[in-house]
């Protein structure tokens, strides 16, 4: 009897301690012992449809900086320009989340480049940027690689659009977007009809829809995988990760077999670095290479592909804006080949692309941050190792700053003389040291694909079709599937 009483007393103490928050810590919704705010957040997510709307809803009650308990994880959610910018720019918040899911996807270690921090991140980021630049990242070679992909896709669209047949836009850009990056990573490209890559891109889209920026229920309550491996998503995510690593391992093994061919790509450079440091490998290992490739594969495909689909969707909904883009392209470029240098002369198109990024909010939350030491945020004290979610959506949809944020209006990024306004409230790639690694590639892809597509096609809504009003939630936001009719305006060279 005494033993039972002790167990009950300990359990009660644990439950009490579980819901107590530190001094000067942000307030938030009432916590349930052991579950935290999981049930309330899940209920709100089912009602509102999107996690960023859940955080917006709670911010109206608890302020622009509030706390939640995600299972066992302490988290602070920040909204509004000032708080978001402080989190993204202050070194104290430069850590990345560390939990079951983030290790599960990386051989149960802290590997890769997206979800690591400290000296490992600094070393790996430096290596990645140095060698990707050698392979053309950010330079003329990257532009030539992307132009090749753009032209290949345009010819494919020309073939598919014969007789005015609608084309499914969801997934249309997947392989082409990834090829630009993969050419630098692995030294070769894929055919647009490559079934293996189509399968991998399908897995990318599915995995992004299954999770949220915190890592989902597997990160919040990892024990659940033992009781509900299927319902928790553990079983399927394990299958997805295994398929990815099977593909990536094959690519690495192919490079090993051709080690004497002096191939000039990222995988070859990393394998040479592993060989050079084999006596003291440090953070250079085959597992690290595989996780970096996974990080770049996922980051370099999903968000850009979704953004391009959003551009098509919004131009379908706003035919008057599409007509203005056509007119600008005709006046500035005409029939000649489009180059990246034209971007500086196509201000209206650039404003359209900026407005699509602001309006669609493909990444409504910045990649989760973690406090690397005890720090302050406004009037609050945030303990070390607290997960921090920064709502980019709240900045892009701020009514006081933008006036009419729900309206799609590219002119908000143009001054009275028609020049681009560089607004500090516009941050689709984040700000600070941990801003998106692939920003240059993404911007180039978005401009080149859309400029060429609009130069050569009019985009129309299929007769009787209803365009989707509600996108899909997940780690990122993507449009729901839709089709479009592409009507040739100019002939494409075969």
Annotation: binding site for heme? 436
- 493 φ/ψ sector (left φ>0, alpha ψ -120 to 50, else beta): beta
Q: What Cα–Cα distance (Å) separates residue 273 from each residue in 267, 336, 454? A: 10, 43, 43
Q: What Cα–Cα distance (Å) separates residue 181 from each residue in 135, 137, 188? A: 10, 9, 10
Any idea which residue has 């359209």 for tokens?
352
* Helix ranges (DSSP H) in 337-402: 347-360, 392-396, 399-402
Q: Which residues pair with 74 in a beta bridge?
A: 69
480 in Cβ contact with 157 (< 8 Å): no
Which strands form 457-460's sheet, in the order they lie side by side? Answer: 167-168, 483-488, 457-460
Give the integer Cα–Cα distance in Å for 68 and 37. Answer: 6
- 51 φ/ψ sector (left φ>0, alpha ψ -120 to 50, else beta): alpha
Reduced to 3 states (helix: H, G, I; strand: E, B; else coil), residue 228 is coil
Give the chain's radius of gyration (CA, Å).
24
Pseudo-torsion of CA 327, 333, 338, 340, nearest 10°? Answer: -90
Reduced to 3 states (helix: H, G, I; strand: E, B; else coil), residue 478 is strand
Where are any strands of DSSP class E within 48-204?
65-70, 73-78, 167-168
Burial class (CB in 10 A: 0-12, 13-18, 19+), 334: exposed
Give the integer Cα–Cα distance in Å for 473 and 209. Answer: 6
Query: Which among 146, 177, 202 has a CA at the least distance from the CA of 311?
Result: 177
- Sign, CA dihedral 96-99-104-109, equals positive
Q: Within a 10 A sphere around the Cβ of 188, how many other Cβ atoms?
A: 12
Reduced to 3 states (helix: H, G, I; strand: E, B; else coil), residue 484 is strand
Binding positions = 436
360 in Cβ contact with 307 (< 8 Å): yes
Give the integer Cα–Cα distance in Å for 222 and 72. Answer: 9
Give the integer Cα–Cα distance in Å for 232 and 210. Answer: 10
- Our CA angle for 445, 214, 99, nearest 5°, is 115
Two tokens, residue 391: 């709502």
Q: Which residues pair with 381 in a beta bridge?
A: 376
């Amino acid at each position: 009897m005494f033993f039972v009483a002790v167990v009950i007393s300990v359990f009660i103490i644990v439950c009490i301690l579980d819901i107590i928050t530190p001094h000067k810590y942000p307030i938030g919704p009432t916590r349930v012992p052991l579950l935290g705010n999981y049930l309330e957040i899940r209920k709100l997510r089912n009602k509102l449809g999107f996690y960023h709307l859940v955080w917006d809803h709670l911010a109206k009650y608890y302020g622009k900086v509030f706390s939640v308990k995600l299972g066992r994880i302490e988290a602070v959610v920040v909204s509004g320009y000032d708080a978001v910018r402080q989190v993204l720019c202050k070194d104290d918040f430069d850590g990345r989340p560390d939990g079951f899911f983030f290790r599960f996807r990386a051989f149960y270690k802290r590997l890769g480049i997206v979800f690591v921090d400290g000296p490992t991140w600094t070393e790996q980021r430096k290596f990645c940027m140095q060698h990707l630049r050698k392979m053309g990242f950010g330079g003329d070679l990257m532009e030539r690689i992307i132009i090749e992909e753009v032209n290949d896709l345009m010819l494919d669209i020309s073939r598919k659009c014969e007789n005015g047949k609608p084309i499914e836009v969801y997934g249309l850009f997947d392989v082409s977007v990834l090829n630009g990056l993969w050419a630098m990573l692995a030294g070769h490209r894929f055919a647009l009809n490559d079934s293996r890559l189509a399968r991998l891109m399908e897995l990318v889209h599915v995995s992004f829809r299954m999770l949220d920026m915190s890592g989902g229920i597997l990160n919040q309550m990892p024990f659940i995988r033992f009781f509900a491996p299927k319902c928790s998503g553990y079983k399927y995510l394990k299958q997805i990760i295994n398929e990815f690593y099977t593909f990536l391992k094959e690519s690495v093994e192919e490079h090993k077999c051709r080690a004497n061919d002096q191939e000039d790509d990222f995988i070859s450079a990393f394998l040479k670095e592993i060989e050079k440091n084999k006596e003291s490998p440090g953070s250079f290992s085959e597992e690290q290479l595989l996780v970096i490739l996974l990080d770049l594969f996922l980051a370099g495909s999903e968000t850009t592909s979704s953004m391009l689909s959003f551009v098509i969707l919004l131009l379908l909904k706003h035919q008057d804006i599409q007509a203005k883009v056509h007119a600008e392209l005709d006046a500035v470029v005409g029939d000649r080949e489009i180059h990246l240098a034209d971007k500086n002369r196509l201000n209206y198109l650039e404003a359209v692309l900026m407005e699509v990024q602001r309006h669609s909010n493909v990444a409504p939350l910045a990649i989760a941050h973690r406090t690397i030491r005890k720090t302050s945020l406004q009037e609050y004290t945030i303990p070390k190792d607290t997960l921090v979610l920064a709502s980019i959506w709240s900045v892009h949809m701020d009514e006081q700053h933008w006036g009419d944020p729900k309206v799609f209006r590219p002119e908000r990024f143009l001054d009275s003389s028609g020049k681009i306004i560089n607004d500090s409230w516009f941050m689709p790639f984040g700000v600070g040291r941990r801003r998106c690694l692939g920003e240059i590639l993404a911007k180039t892809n978005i401009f080149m694909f859309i400029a060429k597509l609009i130069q050569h096609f009019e985009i129309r809504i299929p007769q009787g079709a209803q365009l989707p009003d509600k996108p899909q939630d997940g780690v990122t936001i993507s449009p729901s599937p839709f089709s479009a009719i592409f009507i040739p305006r100019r002939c494409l060279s075969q």
